[in-house]
Structure 1
Amino acid sequence: MHLDLFHAIVTVALIFLTTWALDKTGFVTREERRKGFSWKYAGALALVIFVFNLIWP
């Protein structure tokens, strides 16, 4: 159970870091995310979580 909790905490941290990185690089702007669904934002998050789950299933 503790490993699952730690995995969840790391996943949330990666989501926040990815969001921050996308905002800082200008790849996806906040206005673009606020308008609604963004394929670029969803794809970037999916890729980060996919790679993380490959490394630590």
Structure 2
Amino acid sequence: MPVEIRELVIKTTLETGVADRQERTRLAEIQALRRDMLEECERLLRSAQGRNRFER
């Protein structure tokens, strides 16, 4: 199952109050992975922008 769909399923079960500990843990893992990916993208963007300023 794609991560986005799994995340939606887990969020829905959380909202209805029927999520178990494993689902809550998986959602936390997905959210942490997304945060890490976003931070890495931002770091790469800043790095690329810095190189562009230096090359001009």
Do these two structures clear the TM 0.5 threshold for a shared fold by scoring above it?
A: no
> As a proportion of its length, which structure holds more helix?
2
- Find the structure with the greater CA-based Rg: 2
TM-score, normalised via structure 1 length: 0.44
TM-score, normalised via structure 2 length: 0.45
